Amino acid sequence: MLRAYSVFKDLDKKACEILKNTGIELELSTCEERPNKEQLLKLLQNYDILIIGVKERLTEDMLKEINNKKIIATLSIGVDHIENSFFESNLIKVINCQTSNVISVAEHIFSLILSLKKRIIEANEIAMKGGTKKDLSARSNDISNSTIRIIGAGKISREVIKNSECI
């Protein structure tokens, strides 16, 4: 039986159920704090599957201590917290959540754009100090006919482009 460990004590119940239904023995963290480097290394040595997040950094020196096959599942889109040597190893299979939060992040980007364009934080500060609308300068606050420049062409960028077509 494969043994898995999640550094998250509140891993999604459905995910836990799926793992258990496939015969994987799952142990959830009982700690409030995330594991440090030494603890991560011990987890890598003691479990077949390790479920981590972006706060857990996996470095090449840790890989040298691994001598049997492992699955590392990161609950993130990005994998920059895992060094390339893990991807090149025949002993390690790295899995990431390729569509995790893509829509939420793209929508959050639009909320930030709107917040800046509509000057919500600035207006709130003026209102809290007893000021009036006249205290805001008379620059346009509309996002229509504005240009959004996007750097990158990943899933989030594509979702932002898709959403911008709705505006």
pLDDT tens per residue across span 118-146: 888 888 888 888 877 676 766 667 787 88
Report in angstroms the alpha-carbon separations of 106 from 2, 69, 116: 36, 36, 16
Phi, psi angles (nearest 5°) of residue 49: -130, 130
Residue 23 φ then ψ, to 5°: 85, 15
Predicted TM-score (pTM) of the model is 0.72
Q: Topology of domain 3-96, per CATH?
A: Rossmann fold (3.40.50)
Regarding predicted confidence, which is higher, 22 or 32?
A: 22
d(CA 51, CA 22): 16
Residues 55-101: tens digit of each pLDDT: 999 999 999 999 999 999 999 888 999 999 999 999 999 999 988 88
Q: Where in the chain is the domain with CATH 3.40.50.720?
A: 3-96
User: 89-104, pLDDT tens digit by residue?
Assistant: 999 999 999 888 889 9
Helix runs in the chain, H state only:
13-21, 37-46, 60-63, 84-88, 102-117, 120-128, 155-164
